[in-house]
Amino acid sequence: MRNPYKKRKTILKMVENDPGVGFIDIQKETGYGNGVLSHHLKMLESKNLIRVLRTERKMWAFPINSDPSEDVLRIYLRRETCQKILLLLMRQDTAAFSHICNEIKKSPSTTSTTLKTLVENGLVKKIPGFEVRYCLVDHDRTVDIVSKTKISKTEVLKDRFADTFSYL
């Protein structure tokens, strides 16, 4: 595939079909090298065909017409532990910390770290009381976005690896 337009079209189609797709997932699907993929993503971004969200070590691509306020939820839905907590809270109005640990089958430290991240990012709300409980900040919106988000095997594996070291 020497034609750069074909490569960009392939990448653009992936991003449109899977908003929030990560760099590594695009790379695995297309087989493009780091430099080639980076170049084409920058070209698509410069032409306002995609939005790219970058952190120090990660990158996610979104269609230009997608709602930026959904980006964080889409990203966290790609992480296995976050996804399990969000799905649990979709099924139940509220859940106690111990119940969440048991249901998602993760250690208390992993669960605590993940819940803290979800609370800090405005996806989950901590309800104080004798027994602290958690609930979704916006249940309906979460359900809507979950129904439109694909979960990558790469993200699940990376999340499991990260969980391994969360209590060290």
pLDDT at 66 over 80: yes
Choose the weakest-confidence range: 60-74, 127-141, 145-159: 145-159
Task: Kindly list the domain boundaries of the chain, sorted by start residue.
Answer: 4-66, 72-164
Question: H/E element holding 96?
Answer: strand 95-96
Start-to-end CA span in the chain (Å): 45
What integer is the mean pLDDT of 22-34? 94
pLDDT at 27 over 90: yes
| CATH annotation of 4-66 | 1.10.10.10
Cα-to-chain-centroid distance, residue 53: 12
What's the pLDDT score for residue 32?
94
| Tokens at 122, concatenated | 């405005």
What's the pLDDT score for residue 22?
94
Return the percent helix, strand and coil in the chain, to nearest 5: 60, 15, 30
Cα-to-chain-centroid distance, residue 139: 17
Q: Do domains 4-66 and 72-164 have the same CATH topology?
A: yes
| CATH annotation of 72-164 | 1.10.10.10
DSSP 93: S
Q: Give the C-alpha distances (Å, rounded to integers) separating 159 from 62, 77, 97, 131, 143.
A: 21, 11, 20, 28, 22
Judged on CB neighbours under 10 Å (0-12, 13-18, 19+), 88 is: middle
Tens digit of pLDDT for each residue in 79-95?
899 999 999 999 998 99
